[in-house]
Amino acid sequence: MKPTSNTDSKADPRPPRLALTAGEPAGIGPDLIVEIAQRQIDASLLVFTDPLLIEERAATLGHVVEVVAVAAPEEVQPHRPGLIMVSPVPLAAPVHAGQSDPANARHVLDSIRGAVNACQRDGFDAVVTGPVNKAVINTAGFGFSGHTEYLAELAGGALPVMMLMNDELRVALVTTHLPLAQVSAAITPERVDRTLRVLDHDLRVRFGIDRPRLLVLGLNPHAGEQGYLGREEVTVLAPVLSRLRAEGMELTGPVAADTAFTAESLRGMDAVVAMYHDQGLPALKARGFGGIVNVTLGLPFIRTSVDHGTAEHLAATGKARPDSMLAAIACAARLAARLAMQTPTGTRPRASAGVDA
């Protein structure tokens, strides 16, 4: 696996501007915002949340922070330790750490919408999201299957590709938050084709990899054993891979998932493409849970996120580690800087929305 890109970016004339969300207010998201505020970060950070929530959580954690509510994007300053700049998104109900309240589900969704608007309307460079509680949002009456799908809706119906990564490995998913019983029907030629095209495109454009090499997993055990353990590899995956290879993409597969994550199989590969969520992510998270970044490809803006959930049992205890949030911020800043260097003036273009369907 080759986690780094082939192309390094030169210094950017200004720090990237990142729109952050704290996620579920009763979880560790606010703790993470307070913790990262203590660090030296070469970026301008604007958090979409309720300022009082951050002040209360900082006091509980014993941190002295300056929370500044801003009314306009141009008020955002480069980050300095101890400063938290907030675009106010009011809560509907008081927050008790560790006790999620569906009454605040709208706050969570509005925070995400605000961060996306900052990129699409106000020239921010990336969205970095904290963890949310899907069950609580759905209990409140909102149809919400996950951040990735909601971001696609806000982006006008893009087909996103979820990719999680660390310094050793990248894993992209053809399907994301689906019950296992629905996965096979969702593995269509169109979805596989689109996923591979978006991944190939964004690895080139956003990560600077000239010729991405992708390792594509089969859906069934042993990649279907030539049809004896399932037909999806024969009827769906092989024809799509053959067609895309003819177009110049470098694809290996479909291969058996049980041996795909060995050192030999990963040698020289830039990303693994898994058919469903729990086929690919356990192997990645076993290699460094807590320092993994979730990157959403195929959107018209950069989005990164943490690799963990809301961990409400750790909220306001001081035990939540900010490693994944720090990694997500660093990744977003690197991707923004690379996009900025793709224009002669160094100004940041809008991130690519992937490729045409």
Contact 290, 164 (CB under 8 A): no
Residues of the chain above pLDDT 90, percent: 84
Alpha-carbon gap, residue 24 to 133, rounded angstroms: 6
Tell me: pLDDT of 172 over 80. yes
Q: Which CATH number is associated with domain 1-160+289-357?
A: 3.40.718.10
pLDDT of residue 16: 95
pLDDT of residue 345: 52
CB burial string 304-342: b at 16+ within 10 A, e below: bbbbbebbbebbbeeebbbbbbbbbbbbbbbbbbbbbbb
Alpha-carbon gap, residue 250 to 2, rounded angstroms: 14
User: How do residues 307-349 score in pLDDT, each as one tens digit?
Assistant: 899 999 999 999 999 999 999 999 999 999 988 887 545 444 4
Coil, helix or strand at residue 149 = helix
In the chain, where the domains are located: 1-160+289-357, 170-286
Peptide bond into 90 cis (omega under 30): no
What is the average pLDDT value for the chain, to the nearest integer? Answer: 92
Closest among 309, 272, 266 to 290, alpha carbons compared: 309
Report, at the CATH architecture level, how domain 170-286 is classified.
3-Layer(aba) Sandwich (3.40)
Tell me: pLDDT of 10 over 80. no
Judge if 1-160+289-357 and 170-286 fold alike in CATH terms: yes
User: How do residues 43-76 score in pLDDT, each as one tens digit?
Assistant: 999 999 999 999 999 999 999 999 999 988 889 9
Residue 83: band (very low, low, confident or very high) from pLDDT cuts 50, 70, 90: very high
Contact 183, 193 (CB under 8 A): no
Closest among 310, 255, 7 to 130, alpha carbons compared: 310
Contact 43, 118 (CB under 8 A): no
Give me the helices (H) in 235-313, please. Answer: 238-246, 263-266, 277-285
Contact 160, 272 (CB under 8 A): no
Residues of the chain above pLDDT 70, percent: 92
Contact 333, 16 (CB under 8 A): yes
Average pLDDT over residues 276-288: 93
